[in-house]
Structure 1
Amino acid sequence: MSVKQLSVFLENKEGKLKKAVNAMSQAGVNIRALSIADSSKYGILRLIVSDNETAINALKEEKFTVKETDVIVVGVKDEPNGLNTMLEILEKESINVEYLYAFVSSKTDEAIVVVKIENYEDGVKALEDANANLLSKEDLAEL
């Protein structure tokens, strides 16, 4: 169920985000989900995209630093306790969440949560053992 997220390091300057998004757009890459974390000097654009290799090449051509990371993508009930239920599974196994972001799609009644944890394998096992709805890159392409 591995999904590779891209992390793009951006200078916190006008036009840098647009330049990164434009590079991927011009290469025909569809952005499925994204999150931006920033500080005063730089930002990290985290993305799930339709084609990692093409996105990486397009971004590197524009001199961006890009890193691929394994993340877990989970479908959770789109209701008040949905996210909490998933977090309880991880907490029960003492698995720390480094960060997460989520999105919804009109094609499913679940919220889609992208989770980065310290130990990917332990997180997958804990969620699988609890019958969580783990999604693949192919599943995301259908949303």
Structure 2
Amino acid sequence: MRIKQISIFLENKSGRLAKVTSVLGENSINIRALSIADTTDFGILRLIVNDPDKAFNALKEAGFTVTSTDVIAVEVPDRPGGLAGALTVLQEAGINIEYLYAFLQKATNAALVVFRVEQLDEAINALQNNGIRTLEEKEVYSL
């Protein structure tokens, strides 16, 4: 149920994001989801890719500062209020969300939300016990 997310520290300079995506493309790594958080001096690019270990190594070899973090991918209904159910479950379980980002699946009417939480196993259990589906690594990497 844990998904590996790759995080890359990027200086706010022209071409840095293009270089990351070029390195990934040259290594046949496909981006499944991404998020960028930035300040005036730097940004953090968070990626879900089809082969996180290969991406980590390729980006490291290209000189990027890269980390790998475990996150969870949760399926929620793609409708108004769909996300609220999962958030309520986590709130009631006392689980803090550090950040999240979402993307749509191609073949269903569901959205996928990537959560970074403090208590990963507790979050997975709470969600599953409340009928909210968390996705396996292979499912997410093969989207």
TM range (shorter): over 0.9
Q: Deviations over 1:8-63 (max 9, x none)?
A: 11111110011011101100000000000001111000000011121112111211
Cα distance between partner residues in 2 of 1:106 and 1:120: 26
| Residue 115, structure 1, aligned to residue 110, structure 2 | no
Q: TM-score, normalised by structure 1?
A: 0.96
Cα distance between partner residues in 1 of 2:12 and 2:76: 33
Please give the root-mean-square deviation of Cα atoms over the aligned residues, in Å. Answer: 1.0
Of the structure 1 ranges 42-51 and 121-130, higher mean CA displacement relative to structure 2 is found in 121-130
Shift of 1:99: 0.4
Secondary structure of 1:123's aligned partner: helix
**Count of aligned residue pairs for this structure pair:** 143
Cα distance between partner residues in 2 of 1:77 and 1:116: 19
Percent identity of paired positions between Structure 1 and Structure 2: 47
Runs of 4+ in 1 over 3 A off after TM superposition: none
Q: Unmatched 5+ residue regions in structure 2?
A: none
Q: Report the AA paired with residue 114 of structure 1.
A: V
Indicate the residue corresponding to 1:137 in structure 2: 137
Q: TM-score, normalised by structure 2?
A: 0.96
Q: Report the AA paired with residue 124 of structure 1.
A: I
| Residue 43, structure 1, aligned to residue 43, structure 2 | yes
Indicate the residue corresponding to 1:27 in structure 2: 27
Q: Unmatched 5+ residue regions in structure 1?
A: none
Cα distance between partner residues in 1 of 2:60 and 2:140: 24
